[in-house]
Amino acid sequence: MHDDRSLVESRLKRVLEERIRPAVHPVSVPLTAGIWTAPGEPVPVAEGLAAPRTPIAAGEVWGAPWSTSWLTVTGTVPEEWAGRTVEALIDLGFDANMPGFQCEGLVYRPDGSPVKGLHPRNQWVRIAAPAAGGEEVLLHVEAAANPVILDYHPFLPTELGEKETAGDRPQYRLARLDLAVFDETVWELVIDLEVLGELMAELPVEGARRWDVLRAVERALDALDLQDVGGTAAAARAELAGVLASPAEPSAHRISAVGHAHIDSAWLWPLRETVRKVARTTANMTALLEDQPDFVYTMSQAQQYAWIKEHRPEVYARVKKAVAEGRFVPAGGMWVESDTNMPSSEAMARQFVHGKRFFLDEFGVENHEAWLPDTFGFAGGLPQIIRQAGSKWLLTQKISWSQVNSFPHHTFWWEGIDGTRIFTHFPPIDTYNCSMQGKEIAHAVRNFKDKGRARHSLAPTGWGDGGGGTTREMIAKAARMRDLEGSATVRWERPAEFFAKAQAEYPEPPVWVGELYLELHRATLTSQARTKQGNRASENLLREAELWAATAAVRTGLPYPYAELDRIWKTVLLHQFHDILPGSSIAWVHREAEATYARVAEELTAIVDRAQRALAGEGDAEVVFNSAPHPRGGIPAGGARPLSALPAAPGRCTAAPHADGGFVLDNGLLRVTVDARGLVVSLVDLDTGRETVAPGAAANLLQLHPDFPNMWDAWDVDRFYRNTVTDLTDVDGLALAEDASGAVAVRVTRSFGSSTAVQTLTLRAGEKRLDLDTEVDWHETEKFLKAAFPLDVHTDRYAAETQFGHLHRPTHTNTSWEAAKFEACNHRFVHFEEPGWGVALVTASTYGHDVTRAVRPEDRGTTTTVRASLLRAPRFPDPHTDQGVHRFRHALVPGARIGDAVREGHRINQPERQVRGGVPAEVAPLVSVADEAVVVSAVKLADDGSGDVVVRVYESRGARARTRLTTGFPLAGARACDLLERPWPGGEGEAETDGDDVLISLRPFQLLTLRLARA
């Protein structure tokens, strides 16, 4: 027989496109429309419905960037359509090849109740089935003219990301406003042919099944009269029934489809637009759930539920009903799908606390999976946090984006830094926007790396980011693949059902230890420095506010600000979303974030001040408060003392000219040589005589690189950026200064390009630390600024702080996995150590860094260079990223062991505060720990208002610890609990006490939450 396969396949493609799909809506009449454009920001629904309209017709333009227009469409069902299914077809000017990322609409009835969303692949609104002849149609559409920022030529700089610069030129042209008959038989034929045609393309040519499908398709096309598609569609479908009924092989891969619409809480649109995106999509999905009994939809991010509860209560009522029925599934248990690299220990914990508590309070639902399909890599401390929140599973997708190394598993145990393991799934379908295409299903089967041991995977199915979620077409295609020969089997299932089945069939999967590093988007550790510094400052202030508010409540009876802290935490958690904190959103988002962080700082400072004044009492003495978790200058951790009672810092600082025109600073602990270029050419630890700076090198060297990645400008830095570097060694000014505390400092001024940098290097009495303050007035574009510290330390690994501990990364590049980590994350410190001696670089400002090795010229031994990443200047999606003044704080700590790195990292982030008061003696801390290796992460009052004190501690050095936690109040009892402050299941967790002490035993990096009842 001749091979006519390509002939039949080409025939199918054309007939589908040109004859069958158009026949789904075979007849139509135009609708009449009027439009009103809101003069500014979006208006309430009632105002939009009542506003006057001016006529508009298909083909006319509308929609300046970021504007909102209200359309009213009216019409009458023709008498001859009586008894048929009728739909309105409203095309706002969509680009169907770009689901999401453009204009959208939400349809309302005349009474203001929402119907469904309008999106590029979802342009229909059901009017009646069956319709009555003469029936009047009246619908309102709230249409958002969101501009297309990520266009077909992506990453071009655009001013559309800020309302003030976006202009007022209309962006869209109304394409269709029609009332049409919906022919369900033709629509079903379309789905039949799409499923079989897509399946056929994935089957082996030499296999019989492909040819069986081909011949059935050929017969169906023969049975179809192209001049009467509606009249012959049933006959064509009959020719396909046999191949559609052929069951899947018993060994077929099994896919759990989960209805899904990944909606970034801000990205190429501002937060206010996400509120509306969520409303449109959830209106769509609740309507679809009512029509499709097998369909299950899931949505993560408690913040998004809270938004529709506040702004679209009528949509929220439908969501609550669907959740109660088990059809609309809250997933993830986090406030937002946050970045997980940069948030602090407490912030990462509170993502789960606030997310899970919202789902429990609103729906009575406790989900057990973390749902983070799009997050840019995962810190090694996360498994323990997930487990401590009462969850046990993790889903992610983004690791499939890695540039170099293909991740070796799809289902595995992920082991964190403390040894906690989380059952993790990484869907082989390689998308969180599955549309049920045959090529996607076949890719999942081929790609699944655990074949022979497991055969379950998950497919998040639906268009996200304004695409409207799952469509009726996706559901129909999944129904045909429920049990179809040649295909994986597809079932709609809740995430928990998938995880339970996957874990039952694969109880001992392989183990991956340590961070899940994404080999892409590394520059998100640096982009938008103000957003990152606002986050860090907010986290530090929240710790202080809780600590001092709890202390004042216990000691003075000052009311604890439960509601204020809850609201502020949620604001900070929202801004940790994985396109806000990473700096990959439009200018509008980051401008608002900067203003929000300023407001948060003001509110939290007021809470701290109110509590400290209550503790200090009335008087004129200066009282010094220490919120860091280690004693400082005679002040106990979490306590305060009068300034007059503090011991003077030992020793004094001296400064002398250096022969080459620089200076030598000395405080008896360190001797620092700053040369005429303002660079640190020597830093000697006087206790050991050890030199810190690598021979022939200079530390605190600013270096400038070109920075134009191949794509994803704000997200990526490509390895070739290192090929070209400019050392900033020219000096505009070099001066010596002293302050009232006796510290000595060198002030260095430089200019480069269109920018300037002022650095102050400070040595303080009694401190074995060189403080480095950098102010940059930044006006570069597509450049990367780093500060280099070449260290005379030989080591094949280094430590970088992460949540509740630290992890080790190699300093070498033996393998492609190590070479790919050329930019990495730290929190407050990185630490480098030879046995017995080490160096820490601590920071209050930055997250990104790189580490490389070099060779000592005199003896060929190796040295280690760490570079802190300071600033970038990408032009997409914000063409003015980080222009202006920035301030950074770092400190170099010679002779530091890992415990010193932990302590100094906290100190630089939690400065002392001075308050005028009359306290005659110290304010004792609410809790103190005998062993400095055990760090107090949080002190607060219990969220339930009981008055119990909640304390969270963790072992910080990677060793075992047994110690006492002493309370500064009479203790009635202590109980270990989860992050939500609940007793552990099964009655476990009673803590051992000894008077007012709690006895603690911790494994390396273990975190422990204690609930302390006051007598």
Catalytic residues: 374
Task: Provide the token pair at 688.
Answer: 């050991």
Give the pairing type, strands 104-108 and 114-118.
Answer: antiparallel
* Burial per residue of 816-855, b for 16 or more beta-carbon CB atoms within 10 angstroms, e otherwise: eeeebbbbbbbbbbbbbbeeebbbbbbbbbbbbbbbbebe
- Classify 790 as helix, strand or coil: strand
Q: Where are the alpha helices (DSSP H) in 164-312?
A: 184-202, 208-223, 229-245, 271-291, 302-311
H helix or E strand, kind and range, residue 505: helix 495-505
Give the Cα-Cα-Cα angle 79, 81, 86 (nearest 5 degrees).
Answer: 125
Element (H, E) at 317: helix 313-324
* Element counts in the chain: helices (H) and strands (E): 18, 53
Give me the DSSP letters along 198-226: HHHHHS-TTSHHHHHHHHHHHHHHHH--T
* Contact (Cβ atoms closer than 8 angstroms) between residue 16 and residue 1: no
Contact call for residues 99 and 39 (beta carbons, < 8 A): no
Q: Which residues of 558-596 are buried (b: 16+ CB within 10 A; e: fewer)?
A: bebbeeebeebbbbbbbbbbbbbbbbbbbbbbbbbbeeb
Burial class of residue 863 (count of CB atoms within 10 Å of its CB; 0-12, 13-18, 19+): buried
Helix (H, G, I), strand (E, B) or coil at 491: strand
Distance CA 398, CA 414 (A): 15
Cα–Cα distance for residue pair 334/305, rounded to 1 Å:
11
Asked if residue 467 lies in contact with residue 100, where contact means CB atoms within 8 angstroms, the answer is: yes
Which residues lie closer than 8 Å to 987 by C-beta, 6 or more apart? none
In whole angstroms, how far apart are CA 407 and each of 419, 444, 449, 515?
Answer: 21, 15, 9, 13
Could you tell me which residues come within 8 angstroms of residue 709 by beta carbon, excluding any fewer than 6 positions away? 523, 715, 716, 717, 718, 721
Torsion sign, CA atoms 252, 258, 259, 261: negative
How far out from the chain centre does Cα 701 lie?
Answer: 32
For residues 929 and 931, give the distance between their C-alpha atoms in angstroms, rounded to a whole number: 6
> For residues 94 and 463, is the Cβ–Cβ distance under 8 A?
no
Query: Which tokens sit at 993?
Result: 């006490």
What is residue 361's three-state secondary structure? helix
Strand-pairing partners, residue 737, are 745
Cβ–Cβ under 8 Å, residues 858 and 506: no
Kindly state the greatest CA–CA separation across the chain: 103
Q: Is 425 helix (H, G, I), strand (E, B) or coil?
A: strand
Contact 242, 282 (CB under 8 A): no
User: Can you tell me which residue has the tokens 């500060």?
Assistant: 787
Task: Please name every residue paired with 685 in a beta bridge, in sequence order, or none if there are none.
Answer: 670, 690
Contact 858, 872 (CB under 8 A): no
Q: How far is residue 354's CA from residue 568's CA, in Å, rounded to a whole number?
A: 12
Beta bridge partners of 783: 706
